[in-house]
Amino acid sequence: MNYKDLGNRVRIARRNRSWTQEQLAEKVGISASFLGHIERGTRVASLETFVSLCNVLEIVPEYLLCRNLTFLESRDGEDQGDEKAKLLAFLQLAQNTVSNWNT
């Protein structure tokens, strides 16, 4: 997972709304300090926080994960299909959770 890229995309979406870290953190229900860590890629958001970020920022999970959904290769050139499958399964779970969040 490229958590720095994911965090950068959260930062971009937040800034596009002219929100401070404190404002977004309050809307998501996390501390501003933790949001800062997410944006820097130094901490990992739970699935619940990830979904809340998507809902509050009104973005689809693919936007945050897109750099992680490309074809992955190991250093020796072998496919890492298992890692890609796990990412795709996570994406499907996140999409289902976002879709069912308010039902």
Closest CA to 13 of 54, 48, 42: 54
Q: What is the pLDDT of residues 71-82, one digit of tens each?
A: 444 434 445 556
Crossing angle for the helix pair 47-57 and 21-28, to the nearest 10 degrees = 120
For residue 9, give its domain range.
3-100
Residue 76 pLDDT: 44
Residue-level pLDDT at 77: 46
In contact, 24 and 56? CB cutoff 8 Å: yes
Reported confidence tier of residue 69, pLDDT bands at 50, 70, 90:
low
Between vectors from CA 14 to CA 8 and to CA 18, what angle results, nearest 5°?
135
Q: pLDDT digits over 43-61, tens only?
A: 999 999 999 999 999 988 8
Task: Count the domains in the chain.
Answer: 1
CATH number assigned to the domain comprising residue 87: 1.10.260.40
